[in-house]
Chain A
Amino acid sequence: MTRDITIGQFLPGDSIIHRLDPRIKTLLALFYMVTLFVAQSAVGLAISALFILFVAVLAHIPFRMLLSGIRPLIIIIIIAGVFNMFYIPGHALWHFGILTITREGIGTAAFMGIRVIFLILGASMLTYTTSPILLTDGLDSMLSPLAKLHFPVHELSMMMTIALRFIPTLTEETQKIMQAQKARGADFESGNILRRAKALLPILIPLFVSAFRRADELALAMDCRCYRGGEGRTKLHILRLQKRDGLAVCTSSLLFVIVLTLNFVLPHAY
């Protein structure tokens, strides 16, 4: 069950995409999303789509992983699409009572759907290729100017690192506890909502107990290694921009310029 969640998963690798600076990668992921929204022409959208597929190939992300990242959101996309189909006024194709489907509606629905799918792919390309540690390291570095305003940047990124670090641990723990309670005949799948909620207690209580125990142990271990917050703390891996980061910025900007130009040259898709 929990194993099927692939959004936010990291796929270790050594491709050029993996090695990009996490700060640049985060910013470029946002930039890509902006590009997707700027694109008004079908060709522009297609080029943006090909771009992210190209990135996926470079990063050696299996096609199946891309699909599984979209799957949980497909229902939302379809519902949004249906609403678009009915609510956009224009050249009517089909009537049913008060419901009308227009050609423009179908066009918008398809365009929006594709846009959302590639939005997700763009975001997951960041998490697929960046380890959680690097991701928070990058955020830490990007937010560091705020420290002058007494914003607790280091504490925030440390909290994020710890939280991310414990997601797999707690997932595994949940699975283990579930198996153990199932071995004693616990039943999580039948009965009404109240019964099912009650059936979760044998999982939640041990999970909370162990989360508190882990937090306690971690705090102690950090204390033992003289952790005193961010002041005067140095880094083992200092983030430095490389040539490839410049290349990535140039490529993304090129995409943006092409998409923007196409908006003026070609007719809008909707």
Chain B
Amino acid sequence: MPIIQTEDLTYLYGVGTPFEKTALNHINLSIEEGEFVGVIGHTGSGKSTLLQHFNGLIKPSAGRVLIDGKDIWEKGANRQALRFSVGLVFQYPEYQIFEETVYKDVAFGPRNMGLSEKEVDIRVREAATFSGVEDSWLEKSPFALSGGQKRRVAIAGVLAMRPKVLILDEPAAGLDPRGRDAILDRICDYQRTQGTTVLLVSHSMEDIARIATRVLVMDKGSTAFYGDVSTVFSHAKELLSMGLDVPQITRVFMRLHEMGLPVQPSIYTVEQGKNEILRVLKERET
């Protein structure tokens, strides 16, 4: 059974005003447990709106959202409990920090869950370790930290709820390359060790190619593609026409393929590219 499923999910903005707009148009999607889904799409393609449907922050105008097979807008469904099992990290999450100390801010989620202080403490320390929040920061004011450090605190605040599904909206936006890699690596580690289902929005095709197992492409409120990384990046032409991109290495191999070299065009990491070149060279020798 898929962990996230949507049936004809449709969402309209500003119904009844001149600003009415279809943000999501009949989305049918099913995401299996344990997947690492990279979500890409042009600004305004409906990515963020779609993600906010998965933990019940937005009510669909039509259609259904099923988490673990249960319709989340069914009568009597507990959406607060749902938000603990589908953790959502918003864009620039550091702007939602409000407590006096880092520890208290990370503990906000677990405390809302009604856990005992002992359990909260375990969760906070565990989440801090996972997202790279150092012990020495815990008693500091979060407003004294740097931007990248605050970002980690905010991510820890969601991880501390131990969600079954973790959704991150551009977690690396606005960070320097090192901070970016650090955050993405930590999310990867977390996904691998915990078996969590992760949905991650990113504008960097390289990052998606490196860490995701599947790719979801949104375009004008519809799902354009959903599939394996290599399958999706083999639709380079369509992606480019949507104002998106493919990884640089994919473009190199597509061009080599066009030039008549016997390489596969659907290469999306440098590592794969190296192996492919070695394979072709070896074939030539024999």
Contacts and interface: CB of A to CB of B under 8 A. Distances in A.
Contacts of A205: 98
A179 B47 CA distance: 16
Contacts of A65: 17
B161 A206 contact: no
B95 A206 contact: yes
A179 B167 CA distance: 14
A159 to B, nearest CB: 25
B18 A206 contact: no
Contact of A184 (B16, B17, B158): B158
B175 interface: no
A183 B90 contact: yes
Interface in A169-194: 176-177, 179-187
B157 A209 contact: no
Nearest to A173: B95
Given A185-B83, A202-B108, A180 B18 contact: no
Interface in A196-212: 201-202, 205-206, 209-210
B90 A179 contact: yes
Contact of A185 (B16, B17, B84, B95): B84
A150 interface: no
A183 B83 contact: yes
A184 B88 CA distance: 8
A177 B109 contact: no
Nearest to B163: A183
Given A205-B98, A206-B97, A184 B109 contact: yes
Contacts of B41: none
Given A184-B161, A186-B112, A62 B90 contact: no
A182 B95 contact: no
Interface string A108-146: 000000000000000000000000000000000000000
A69 to B, nearest CB: 12
A179 B57 contact: yes
A64 interface: yes
Interface in B18-76: 18, 52, 55, 57
Contacts of A206: 95-98
B80 interface: yes
B55 A201 contact: no
Contacts of B93: 180
Interface in B88-130: 88, 90, 93, 95-98, 108-109, 112-113
Contacts of B95: 176-177, 206, 209-210
Given A181-B96, A183-B83, A176 B90 contact: yes
A180 B158 CA distance: 10
B57 A183 contact: yes
A11 B18 contact: yes
Given A177-B95, A201-B98, A209-B143, A184 B112 contact: yes
A185 B113 contact: yes
Interface string A1-14: 00100000001000
B87 interface: yes
12 contacts: A11-B18, A62-B18, A177-B95, A179-B57, A181-B96, A181-B108, A183-B158, A184-B108, A184-B109, A184-B112, A185-B80, A185-B161
Given A3-B14, A185-B109, 4 more contacts: A177-B96, A180-B90, A183-B83, A206-B97
